[in-house]
Structure formats: C-alpha cells, structure tokens
Structure 1
Amino acid sequence: MTNTSLTARLGRCGCVAAATAGLMALGLSPASAHVTANATSTAAGGYTQVTFSVPTESDTASTTKIELDLPEDTPFASVRTQPVEGWTAEITEEKLATPVPAGAGQITEAASTIIWTADEEHAIDPGQFQTFTISVGPLPEEAGKQILLPVSQTYTDGRTVAWDQPATEGQEEPERPAPSVTITEAQAGGHGAAHEATAAAEDTTTGGTGPLVWVGLMAGLLGLAAGVTALIRTRHRG
C-alpha cells in the first residue's frame, strides 16, 4: 500500500470517527432512528396537521402496520388522515365516559386510534422511512401542555415496537420516546381564523367544497347568465 493510499484511508477513518463521536455527544448512535412527530402549528385552541416520520430500524424485517393512540383526556373533535400510497387508514371512535368541553359545545365521542396497514408492495423496508399525516383539532387551550401521541410499529417478523415512553425535560431521553406535541400560546386573529385556514387547505387537497369553490361557481353562473342575455339581445336586434 502506498503512502498516499494509507493517508487517504486514515483520513476517511478519521472523518467517520469524528462523526460518530459527534452523534454520541448528542446522545445518539449512528443507527438510532426514532418515530417523530412534527406539527404545522401548535397554537392553543387551533387546528393543525401532524406528520409522523416512521423509519424501519430492523435490518431484516419491514414495517407493515402503524397504530397511533390519540389522547383521551384532551380528545380531538376533528380527525382526518392524508392518503398514503399503498396504505389503508382506519379510524376507530369511542364514546367518552365524560363529555369534554370544546369551543362552544362538547365532545361526547372522539377518535381513539388510527391504524395504517400496508399492502404487499408498500411495506417500509430496512433503511427506508415513510410519513403519515393527520389533520386534528381543536388543540387544548392550555399553553405548555404536552400531548403524547404513542405509536406502535409492527414488522413482518411479527415483532411490535411501542414508541410510548414519555420524555421529561432535563432528563435522559428514554429508549422508545413517544412522539409528542407541546401547545403554545394562541395566535393573534383567534381560533376561527386558524380553523378556516386549515379547512381551506383540506378542501384543496381532498376535493372538499370550500368558500373559494362556491365563489368560483357563482362567478361562472353569472358569466353564463351574461352570455345568454347578450345572445338574446343580439338575436332580437337581428
């Protein structure tokens, strides 16, 4: 081996060692991969979209099912799922033992679990990850409250991994931390504005009938009426 090749190899080893040391200093390992949740908004009383990132940690098995447990003490009045190619989503609802106040009304029945199941061609293989997005609301009114969203991950070898351990600030992260969302102060403009913005976004992606759709429809009808009137006047003059 030439001196140049040896120097290059040592340099590469040094880079890998430095990267590994950096990850370990942050409390991570090169192979670590947690199920995480990221929300578009966490404002108290508002609506949000939460995206779960689910990696496959196994080197030999693929992920075929994901089960999400929704909060019971602060249930969501509205829960929707975004389609994922090759996966079916099933929402299970349960009647609450005690109705929970929500806005001007009460919630007596709410979604308790969401289960995503993959077909034979869309399992999450080793070294891959998939994202699952839900739209929920309204969020609790208490700023600073942490909402746990435990996830169970099932593999083709029959093994199930539960990501359900709560993390405590200032303490070492648990081995299987539960995804979570922390509520922040309400945004200026009120909860209604946040709700309308989310509803408009959902109408755009799911084909719902929102305010903009009605405005466009009315504009089209008015244009059609004007055209018919002009045609009638033209024929009358003729």
Structure 2
Amino acid sequence: MNSFVRRASFIAGTTSLALVFGAGAASAHVSVYAPGAEQGGYSVLAFRVPTESDTAATSSVKVELPGLNSARTQPIPGWTSTVDKNAEGLATAVTWTATPGAEVLPGQFQQFLLSAGPLPEQESVSFPATQTYNDGEVVEWNEEPAADGSEPEHPAPLLTLTAASAEAHGHGAATVTAEAEAPSVAESDNTARWMAGVALVLGALGAALGIGAAVRGRRS
C-alpha cells in the first residue's frame, strides 16, 4: 500500500512538473522547479536545461547541491548520472552526462529529476549549474540576482521554499495511520462476508431438509 501511494504521488508530482515546464518553455535559462517544496522537507526537484547554442548540443549538466542527506536521480534514456558526496556522506553535486546521440539538440530542452532532501530550512536555495556543449563550450549558471533585483546574464537556478507546515505533517501521520488500519478493516469485512456466506449455505441446506421431510410425510 505504501509503495502504491508513493508511486501515485510521484506520478502526480511529475505530471505537475510537466505542466510547469510546458508553461515556461520559452525561458532560455537553466532553472529548477519543485511545486510545494517545503523548508526541511523532501521533494522532487526538476532541473530544466535548454540548449541555447545554434550549432552545438548539450552533452553534460552538473548541479551543485547544498549538502543533502539524500539525492536520487531518475533514469533518463541515453544519459548517465553521478552523485558526488563529501566526507560526511552528504550529496554535494550531481552530474548528468549524455551518451553519443542522446545530447540535447539546438532548439530543444531536457528535464532532469532529482528526489532530494531534507532541503535547507531557509526561504530559498540556490543550485549553481554547469552546462557543457559537445563543441567544448562551458556555461556557468552561478550568478546571483543584482542588488536592484535585476536578473544577471547567467543566473543560478533558484528555488523558493515554503515554510514547513505542521498541518501537513499531521495529515501525513493521519494517512499512515489510516493505511496501517486498512488491513484490519478489510479483514473484518472478509470475515463478515464469509460468515454471511456460511449462513446462506446453512439456510439453504435447512430449507432443503425441510422440504424433503415434508415430501416424505405426504408419501407416507
């Protein structure tokens, strides 16, 4: 049951991310999306990487991570992934590399999903990225917004986090409790159906015996 719920949640989250990507496909910057991501929580981070070059394809993408306990990549056909960790075992970076023929061509973009957490307990978190093209060009997406709020030429992917919700944690606990109780409820239901079936069989048998006795009585 738990695996089914996690799989359904992941599919729903992936669908939402696909809609977000479709809405913002015109942007030409490396960006990150994670609708509903909370401070201190786990989430699926989606990095969108468009190919800006008119003559070369994106062959590699490296994203810096803020030292996370968990960082798991989703397999992408034609791409390999590597997660770097420090001496404490925290994930500090993830690199996706294309095999020949799987690069992101000019005019296209690719999305890279990363299940990660717990996220920093702060209002926003930056994920500096390095985009490498198959002609050797390297673009660093690591610039912070200017003091006046204007966007730099190569901004680092920035994710805004919502405050941790106590209600959300409570809802999660309620869900787990309900799932834990589900088998016993189903068990009771099955038992009731079994007993009802037995009662019907016994009733039918009793009726048959009664009819048989009546028939024998008339013959006698």
Using the size of structure 2 for normalisation, the TM-score is 0.64
**Looking at CA atoms only, which structure, 1 or 2, has the larger radius of gyration?**
2
The equivalent of 1:7 in structure 2 is: none
1:95 pairs with 87, 93, 106, which one?
Answer: 87
The equivalent of 2:112 in structure 1 is: 132
Aligned pairs, number:
177
1:44 aligns with 2:39: yes
Q: CA deviation at 1:137?
A: 1.4
Assess if the C-alpha contact under 8 Å between 1:46 and 1:195 holds in 2: no
1:152 pairs with 130, 137, 157, which one?
Answer: 130
The equivalent of 1:85 in structure 2 is: 77
1:43-73 deviation per Cα after TM superposition (whole angstroms, max 9, x unaligned): 22221111111000111110111111101xx
1:177 aligns with 2:155: yes
Question: Aligned runs of 1:1-238 on 2, under 5 Å?
Answer: 33-71=28-66, 75-96=67-88, 109-142=89-122, 144=123, 146-168=124-146, 170-191=148-169
Q: CA deviation at 1:179?
A: 0.1
Structure 2 CA distance for partners of 1:114 and 1:193, relative to 1, 3 Å: farther
Q: CA deviation at 1:196?
A: 10
Structure 2 CA distance for partners of 1:168 and 1:48, relative to 1, 3 Å: farther
- Secondary structure in 2 matching 1:120: coil
Structure 2 CA distance for partners of 1:167 and 1:67, relative to 1, 3 Å: same
> Partner letter of residue 139 of structure 2?
V
Assess if the C-alpha contact under 8 Å between 1:41 and 1:49 holds in 2: no
- Gaps of at least 5 residues in structure 1 are 1-30, 97-108, 201-210, 231-238
User: Which whole-Å CA distance do the structure 2 matches of 1:196 and 1:164 have between them?
Assistant: 41
Assess if the C-alpha contact under 8 Å between 2:68 and 2:92 holds in 1: no
More helix by share: 2
- Secondary structure in 1 matching 2:156: coil
- Secondary structure in 2 matching 1:91: strand
Q: CA deviation at 1:169?
A: 6.1
